[in-house]
Amino acid sequence: MMIRIFPYGAIQFMAFDNYRKFLNTQLGISGHIHRLMAGSMAGITAVIFTYPLDVIRARLAFQVTGEHRYTGIRNAFQTIYLKEGGISGFYRGLTPTIIGMAPYAGFSFFTFGTLKTLGLSHFPELLGKPSLDNPDVLVLKTHVNLMCGGVAGAIAQTIAYPLDVARRRMQLGASLPDFDKCCSLTKTLKHVYTEYGVKKGLYRGLSLNYIRCIPSQAVAFTTYEFMKQVLHLN
């Protein structure tokens, strides 16, 4: 997870800033919509570059005591490459991941940016404080940043969760007994819905995912805003 998250986070936030500038300066797209578009494209970019590491993480995390198929990261890479079609084995489930990441990252950046703009516009004295690199510029207070990031993560996760379920099942491949029914996005979603329904299928584990993604997104956006001030990027 740690090996994956470093390049994933770096690529996502770097790509977001660049896509946002490109949409604004080159295409004339601004306002809330450019946050949604830039966030979606940034998420997709980060996923494409780090997806093999995500597959390895899923396979290792799924193992249970006494049934270890992989002895470590290197062994997982070798096994998947040799037994699951070479390079293509590392990109199993990429389509639902990209389709799911577009709304997830898009609504995440969109919600955070919108909450930030509304907060500083309507309640600057209550929610804002001077930026570290420019006292004339207001930024959100740390606890407000955390709250906005958490809300953004919760909303984005709720919207994209069924696609995340499909992605995980496709990534696990032969590790699941019904893997032959999870060979494409539509077949996987149909199989999960038919066998388990909505609550126990498409949204199974959502509450636990909130526990992970809400603090994760809260800290990520707060760190992102803080580092922009430290590096004088505002």
What residue numbers bound the domain in which 121 lies? 97-203
Is 125 within the bounds of a domain? yes
Instruction: Please tell me whether residues 43 and 107 are part of one structural domain.
Output: no
pTM: 0.83
Instruction: Please tell me whether residues 195 and 102 are part of one structural domain.
Output: yes
The pLDDT of residue 165 is: 86
The pLDDT of residue 113 is: 94
Is 43 within the bounds of a domain? yes
The pLDDT of residue 232 is: 79
Instruction: Please tell me whether residues 70 and 55 are part of one structural domain.
Output: yes
Identify whether the C-beta of residue 65 lies closer than 8 Å to the C-beta of residue 129.
no
State yes or no: pLDDT of 26 exceeds 90.
no
**Residues 6+ away with beta carbon under 8 Å from 185:** 95, 96, 99, 163, 166, 170
Instruction: Please tell me whether residues 199 and 141 are part of one structural domain.
Output: yes
pLDDT, tens digit, for every residue of 211-231? 999 999 999 999 999 999 998
Mean pLDDT to the nearest integer, 168-176: 70
Is 212 within the bounds of a domain? no
Instruction: Please tell me whether residues 102 and 199 are part of one structural domain.
Output: yes
How many folded domains does the chain comprise? 2
Is 103 within the bounds of a domain? yes
User: What angle, rounded to 10 degrees, do the helices at 206-230 and 94-122 form?
Assistant: 60
The pLDDT of residue 2 is: 85
Instruction: Please tell me whether residues 56 and 83 are part of one structural domain.
Output: yes
Mean pLDDT to the nearest integer, 19-43: 90
